[in-house]
Amino acid sequence: MAVETYTPLISEVMQKVSNAKTKKEKIELLQKYSSQALRSILIWNYDDSVVSMIPEGEVPYNPNEAPIGTEHTTLNSEYVRLYNFVKGGNNEIKQIERENMFIRMLEGLHQDEAALLCLVKDKDLQK
């Protein structure tokens, strides 16, 4: 049996889940690719007690067009900084600094993951 050595981007996992035909398949995929990063994204999006500190709407950033697996960061490594963008996560930083941090994160991520994170901040992942 072949061992899977490639860790898919969170955006790739979410696309697989979206393409799954049954609820059972969706659950199996979420369990297979379960990670703290994936759970953090889902909690931010679906937990009503988590309030985004990033304004709703389009974010003015330049998407990172580097191919998957090259010059970009991933949500699997960047999720540890997501607390900066939700209410109660980091109250020590000014709002403008928070927004600039978010834009820098988006510009470092692969463009698919950046787009996913923009949906999550507005709790629109189901789109």
The backbone torsions φ and ψ at residue 21, rounded to the nearest 5 degrees and listed phi first, read -85, -30
Rounded distance, CA 24 to CA 78, Å? 29
Q: How confident is the model at residue 66 (pLDDT cuts 50, 70, 90)?
A: confident
Rounded distance, CA 71 to CA 117, Å? 18
Assigned token pair, 9? 């981007």
Assigned token pair, 117? 């994170």
The answer to whether the CB of 93 falls within 8 A of the CB of 40 is no
Assigned token pair, 109? 């991520």
Q: Taking the model in full, what pTM does it have?
A: 0.89
Q: How confident is the model at residue 27 (pLDDT cuts 50, 70, 90)?
A: very high
Is residue 28 predicted with pLDDT exceeding 70? yes
pLDDT tens-digit readout, 68-119: 878 889 999 999 999 999 999 999 999 999 999 999 999 999 999 999 999 9
